[in-house]
Chains A and B, each alone.
Chain A
Amino acid sequence: RKEVEQDPGPFNVPEGATVAFNCTYSNSASQSFFWYRQDCRKEPKLLMSVYSSGNEDGRFTAQLNRASQYISLLIRDSKLSDSATYLCVVRGSGYSGGGADGLTFGKGTHLIIQP
């Protein structure tokens, strides 16, 4: 089983719709969780951290489910500018090869918002 797994998509969504995607992780000792956004041919940029109680930042809501070992990202009222690849990042301890206290990136979910 992969350490951090995401559906690669692409998710094709009409502008204004709500879209959600999940990320599953294999190490139950993971401590920190993030969503990054990466535009084509650009560097990954932090979108938001994910807190145990869930958190919201404008149109974006992140949730953590430790029992099922997944995090989710919900985007409401999607905009054309939301088109990007969304990377799930898990940070914890004990990953082999993960380094950096187990910082591991998923391969990303490709989102396309259509006009």
Chain B
Amino acid sequence: DAGVIQSPRHEVTEMGQEVTLRCKPISGHNSLFWYRQTMMRGLELLIYFNNNVPIDDSGMPEDRFSAKMPNASFSTLKIQPSEPRDSAVYFCASSPQVRGGSPLHFGNGTRLTVT
């Protein structure tokens, strides 16, 4: 079975540039999550979608961050303009449902470096 697929695996960009991260959830999963991981703060939930609708974006750091899910098989996380403090590993995860005991399945992550 194909797992959660993220692209790119690595992204190096200069401060001020736009960055777009992509995610394809597991087929049939109706919940999608974007996380950011740093050494200092661990895994932080940025936003999650249920049936393509954003449910909670309270974890999005600021207006420079935006996320979309135009259909059940694709989501993007965009940072514009990027800043060095955005450097982190960004994970996408999917789950069969938001509530209840369903665990999350993570993609390989995108390692973002902003110089």
Contacts and interface: CB of A to CB of B under 8 A. Distances in A.
A36 B91 CA distance: 14
Given A99-B56, A99-B59, A49 B103 contact: yes
Given A43-B108, A49-B101, A106 B59 contact: no
B59 A97 contact: yes
Contact of A100 (B31, B91, B107, B108): B31
Contacts of A98: 45
Interface in A41-98: 41-46, 49, 87, 89, 91, 96-98
B26 interface: no
Interface of B: 31, 33, 42-43, 45, 47-48, 55-56, 58-59, 91, 98-101, 103-109, 111
21 contacts: A32-B100, A41-B111, A42-B108, A44-B43, A44-B91, A44-B104, A49-B103, A87-B43, A96-B58, A97-B45, A98-B45, A99-B33, A99-B48, A99-B56, A99-B58, A100-B48, A100-B55, A101-B99, A103-B45, A105-B43, A107-B42
